[in-house]
Amino acid sequence: PRDREMEEQGGRRRCLVLVPYPLQGHITPMLQLGTILHSRGFSITIALSQFDFPDTSNLPDFVFQPLLNDSLSKFNDPDDIVALISNLNLSYRVSLQELLIEMIEKQQLERQDPQELPCIIYDPLMYSAEAVAHHLKLPSIVLHPSSVAFLLAFCVCPKIQKEGYTPFQVSKSLELVPELYPLRFKDLPVFDVKSVDDFLQFVTTVSNLRTSCMILNSIDCLEQQSLAQLRQKLQVPIFLIGPMHKLVPAPSSSLLEEDRSCISWLDKQTENSVVYVSFGSIASLEEKELAEMAWGLANSKQPFLWVLRPGSVHVSESVDSLLDDFKETIGERGRIVKWALQKEVLAHSAVGGFWSHCGWNSTLESVSEGVPMICRPFTADQKVIGRYVNHVWRVGIELENVFERGEIERAIKLLMVEKEGEEIRQRAAELKLELQLSVQKGGSSYNSLNELVELIMLQSK
Ligand code: UDX
């Protein structure tokens, strides 16, 4: 009926141009936001390199516009994340600007209504979109793909450095960061970068974007305190509208093919018995870690579903041949897939625990289904998120030390079956209910979304 109403009024509301950063963990929340705003009547264009398009046949509501790489510079250090992001911004800036100019001209030709200019919603890592918006005098909004606590920690890094804490000495790594309880210095993202100076420059760019508001896929009841702190630091309206996949169900935006067979395998398992294991779309393992994981899982005696993404293990021979003995030992008790339908897996009644890298999407998907976690963060925001899962929300267990099969076996047993893990399991079930309330009519995310839609509408007048 909403669509009919809009057609009667002369079509959809203004066009929103969404500019995700081209990684799975960033594309997914941007397309979820697109689905939500499409359901509120906006027309949605996705601007992304063609090589990073998900299967567009799943997403008929969106117009996909390929961005062309305009950069002649060759980038050759894949480990230097800050330089990689900067290069990507340089590469796509011209193409994005051309696309927007074309849209504006077409719109003026068709509708003669200069008021209804497109609004850009971009990932902060695609910060050049902000410069383009400013240049064309278009409104812009930023969607942060991570948690409020992470964004806060990120913004506080330059101040911490000024206070003399950087470079972060190893001796301080277990100390609490001032203002950021319960984060320790070792949880801060700065540990993982090549040059602290480049990183701090990058933080300054990303935390000073001139945007009309900021959206986060988070929930008041999870991050109220961090949100209050963040609001003191940033002078823009902030909307928490998570978990977005529960506000409006979004179609799959996977870049890899999903293995559906894992669902029929789960159907044969008993309730809450399966450990689901996945480290997202970027994290990778060493050969030794793979072996420790495998035998930790085998020795735990729990059934498990394990996602081993192609290329995610640094090995000299094939992963399959390394796991021959292991596969023989576990038989039907475990299943390994290349890519799962993660949201469906976590919602399946057979799944009782999630061993995760604590990417923000995975964490929200787990918490939304009341699935307790084993946290093994790798990089970026994952250590901050892991700390919150264990110490604030208390729905997980932290795997602190290096990968070791005995430690893994103990963590799985504790999470899945032992009495000691009962409180964590109980807490996860409670948190699920709190999250459900937030997306229902009158809930915090539901209300925030209404306010956001109003703000976008006002911008068009
Ligand atoms: C990255 C960062 O690492 C993460 O910390 C940040 O918050 C977003 O960008 P990624 O590492 O891929 O993302 O992790 P995550 O945020 O958890 O996103 C992974 C997505 O892939 C999830 O939505 C998950 O459902 C999906 N997925 C993962 C699948 O659909 N199938 C799989 O088999 C594994």
- The tens digit of pLDDT for each residue in 126-182 reads 999 999 999 999 999 999 999 999 999 988 888 887 777 765 556 678 889 888 999
More confident of the two residues 407 and 9? 407
**Which of 361, 384, 388 is the pocket-test mutation for ligand 1 (most atoms within 8 Å of CB)?**
361
Query: DSSP readout, 184-196?
Result: BGGGSGGGG-S-H
The arrangement of strands across the sheet holding 396-398 comes to 334-337, 304-307, 274-278, 351-356, 373-375, 396-398
Summarised one tens digit per residue, pLDDT across range 423-451 is 999 999 999 999 999 999 999 999 999 99
The alpha carbon of 268 and the centre of ligand 1 are apart by a number of angstroms equal to 26
**Hunting for tokens 């093919």 — which residue is that?**
257
Summarised one tens digit per residue, pLDDT across range 32-62 is 999 999 999 999 999 998 888 999 999 999 9
Helix axes of 422-439 and 444-459: crossing angle, nearest 10 degrees? 40
Give the pLDDT confidence score for residue 235 in this predicted structure: 85
Give the pLDDT confidence score for residue 8 in this predicted structure: 45
Res 273 pLDDT > 90: yes
Res 409 pLDDT > 60: yes
What is the residue with the minimal CA distance to atom 13 of ligand 1?
A: 25
The alpha carbon of 101 and the centre of ligand 1 are apart by a number of angstroms equal to 33
As a whole number of angstroms, the distance between CA 69 and CA 299 comes to 49
- Which of ligand 1's atoms lies nearest the C-alpha of 258? 31
Q: Are 299 and 321 in contact (CB under 8 A)?
A: no
The alpha carbon of 393 and the centre of ligand 1 are apart by a number of angstroms equal to 20
Q: Are 121 and 141 in contact (CB under 8 A)?
A: yes
pLDDT band at 294 (very low <50, low <70, confident <90, very high): very high
What is the residue with the minimal CA distance to atom 3 of ligand 1?
A: 359
Res 191 pLDDT > 70: no
| DSSP E strand stretches across 333-429 | 334-337, 351-356, 373-375, 396-398
As a whole number of angstroms, the distance between CA 179 and CA 389 comes to 19
What is the residue with the minimal CA distance to atom 8 of ligand 1?
A: 25
More confident of the two residues 207 and 238? 238
The rounded percent of the chain whose pLDDT value lies above 70 is: 91
Q: Which residues line ligand 1 (CB under 6 A)?
A: 23-26, 28, 145-146, 254, 278, 280-283, 307, 339-340, 342-343, 359-362, 365, 380-382
Which tokens is 101 given? 């100019």
- Which of ligand 1's atoms lies nearest the C-alpha of 252? 30
Give the pLDDT confidence score for residue 320 in this predicted structure: 78
Summarised one tens digit per residue, pLDDT across range 319-354 is 777 788 888 889 999 999 999 999 999 999 999 999
pLDDT band at 112 (very low <50, low <70, confident <90, very high): low
Give the pLDDT confidence score for residue 74 in this predicted structure: 55
The alpha carbon of 137 and the centre of ligand 1 are apart by a number of angstroms equal to 34
Phi-psi region of 203 (alpha: psi -120 to 50; beta: other; left: phi over 0): alpha
Mapping DSSP onto H, E and C, the string for 76-131 reads CCCCCHHHHHHHHHHHHHHHHHHHHHHHHHHHHHHHCCCCCCCEEEECHHHCHHHH
pTM: 0.94
What is the residue with the minimal CA distance to atom 25 of ligand 1?
A: 342
What is the residue with the minimal CA distance to atom 4 of ligand 1?
A: 359
Give the pLDDT confidence score for residue 1 in this predicted structure: 47
Mean pLDDT of 274-286: 95
Give the pLDDT confidence score for residue 113 in this predicted structure: 63
- Which of ligand 1's atoms lies nearest the C-alpha of 281? 12
How many residues comprise the chain?
A: 461
The alpha carbon of 171 and the centre of ligand 1 are apart by a number of angstroms equal to 32
Domains and CATH numbers, the chain: 2-252+439-459 (3.40.50.2000), 261-437 (3.40.50.2000)
